[in-house]
Amino acid sequence: MKHNEERTVRYDNDLKIEAFCLKGIIQKFPNHFHEHYVIGFIESGQRKLSCKNKEYLVGPGDLLLFNPYDNHFCEQVDDQALDYRCLNIKPEIMRAMVFEITGKQENLVFEQPVVYHSEQVIGLGELHQMLIAEQQEFNKEEAFLFLIEQLIDEYGSWESNHHHQESNTAIELICDYLEKNHPERISLNDLSILTGCSKYYLVRAFTKTKGITPYRYLETVRINAAKALLEEGMEPIDVALQTGFSDQSHFSNFFKGFIGITPKQYQKIFTDEGSEA
């Protein structure tokens, strides 16, 4: 079945957040994470979602709440296309909002990735429409404040309240190495030598701890680094080479697979204040 796709993205310079609108999407999104918060909802279609190794069946009216570094993937359940809207909020913007609302200088943690038939979807949808329409009045800021306040009250906790398991030194060593060396060609043998662990052990241990394989972690680090360079105005071909991709075509296809739009489309939301495809 053929679907007409629409992929619309806006960046709001006042609120410093991104608004994504995907319509008629069949695309499967691979296991990955973001360095920002994602607050979204499904307008139509059903998806099988996995977040932090727990599976959900989500559909119209369901609210999705992803914290930074929450690994997740999704795919369609049937031949019905996905209509989906979301806001992407960088951690520093969320911290500023949390301080504005609560006076706390804490990192917000959403306790659950899925809220079925959430009442907050209405307010989120109204705010999203304002951002897509590039509305300039300050009622969008009011709507944003009220939305975050409601989400904190209903589903929020604080990072300091969470029990942190003692960090696995080998896993953290791998993460640090991948983040610092992502433009380079990295082998599993390199990681094995780095940690002193067998390849099999480190892949199993890393995946169990992070919910994502070492290579998928590296791919996600590269995409997040690429987004930052695109926002600064660097040409996609140069971004591809600086973030470890073999060529621009590979980079473009990979970027769209992760983000849902091409590197050029993503860059246009910062240069032309909006993109639609």
For the segment 29-63, what is each residue's pLDDT rounded down to a tens digit? 888 889 899 999 999 999 999 998 899 999 999 99
pTM, to two decimals:
0.77
Paired strand residues for 89: 37
Amino acid at 89: I
User: Shortest CA distance to 102 belongs to which of 90, 94, 112?
Assistant: 94
Q: What is the pLDDT of residue 29?
A: 87
Q: What is the pLDDT of residue 87?
A: 97
CA distances from 146 to 7, 83, 131, 151, 162 (A): 27, 24, 15, 9, 25
For the segment 170-183, what is each residue's pLDDT rounded down to a tens digit? 899 999 999 999 99
Note whether 223 and 179 are within 8 A (CB).
no
| pLDDT under 70: residue ranges of the chain | 1-3, 161-167, 272-277
Note whether 49 and 114 are within 8 A (CB).
yes
Q: What is the pLDDT of residue 272?
A: 61
Note whether 259 and 266 are within 8 A (CB).
yes
CA distances from 149 to 19, 101, 134, 155 (A): 19, 7, 23, 10
The CATH fold assigned to 6-161 is Jelly Rolls (2.60.120)
User: Shortest CA distance to 236 belongs to which of 262, 199, 217, 258?
Assistant: 262
Q: Where in the chain is the domain with CATH 1.10.10.60?
A: 169-276
Q: What is the pLDDT of residue 161?
A: 63
Q: What is the pLDDT of residue 79?
A: 78
Q: What is the pLDDT of residue 123?
A: 95
Q: Which CATH class is domain 169-276?
A: mainly alpha
Q: What is the pLDDT of residue 103?
A: 92
Q: Where in the chain is the domain with CATH 2.60.120.810?
A: 6-161
Q: What is the pLDDT of residue 166?
A: 41
Q: What is the pLDDT of residue 5?
A: 84
Note whether 199 and 189 are within 8 A (CB).
yes
For the segment 63-95, what is each residue's pLDDT rounded down to a tens digit? 999 999 898 989 888 878 889 999 999 999 999
